[in-house]
Amino acid sequence: MTSSGAASADLWRAKTRAFVDREVRPIAPAIDRNDRVPDSLLRRLAEERFFGLGIPPEWDGVGGDARSLAAVLEELSAGSAAVAVTVAVHLSVCAAPILTWGTDAQKTRFVRALARGDGVGAFGLSEPDAGSDTARISTRYSTDGDGFVLRGTKMFISNAVTAGVVLVFATKDPALGHAGISAFIVPGGTEGFRVAQRLEKLGLRGSETTELVLDGVRLPPEGMLGPEGSGLKVALGALAGGRVGIAACALGVARSAFEEMQRAIARDDAEWKRARLARAYVEWTSAAALVRAAAERKDAGLPFVTDASSAKLAASRAAVSIASAGLDVAGAEGARAGSAAERLFRDARVFPIVEGTTEIQELILGRQLLDAEPRGNP
Ligand X SMILES: Cc1cc2nc3c(=O)[nH]c(=O)nc-3n(C[C@H](O)[C@H](O)[C@H](O)COP(=O)(O)OP(=O)(O)OC[C@H]3O[C@@H](n4cnc5c(N)ncnc54)[C@H](O)[C@@H]3O)c2cc1C
Contact set with ligand X (CB under 6 A) = 89, 123-126, 131-132, 156-158, 201, 204, 209, 350, 353-355, 357, 359-360, 363
Question: CB-wise, 19 or 123, nearer to ligand X?
Answer: 123
Question: Percent helix, strand, coil in the chain (nearest 5)?
Answer: 60, 15, 25
> C-beta of 352: minimal distance to ligand X in Å?
8
CA 100/CA 102 separation, integer angstroms: 6
Question: CB-wise, 136 or 263, nearer to ligand X?
Answer: 136
Is 355 one of the annotated active-site residues of the chain? yes
Query: How open is the CA angle 369-352-230, to the nearest 5 degrees?
Result: 60
What are the CA-CA distances from residue 162 to residues 83, 122, 218, 327 (Å)? 13, 9, 20, 34
Q: Indicate which residue of 355, 359, 362, 373 is catalytic.
A: 355
Question: CB-wise, 96 or 264, nearer to ligand X?
Answer: 96
Centre a 10 Å sphere on the Cβ of residue 174 and count the other Cβ atoms it contains.
Answer: 15
What are the CA-CA distances from residue 324 to residues 308, 319, 335, 348 (Å)? 24, 8, 11, 9
> C-beta of 324: minimal distance to ligand X in Å?
18
CA 78/CA 340 separation, integer angstroms: 12
Positive or negative, the CA dihedral 210, 295, 184, 234 is negative
> C-beta of 157: minimal distance to ligand X in Å?
5
Question: CB-wise, 220 or 366, nearer to ligand X?
Answer: 366
For residues 85 and 246, the answer to whether their CB atoms sit within 8 Å is yes
> C-beta of 57: minimal distance to ligand X in Å?
27
Catalytic residues: 355
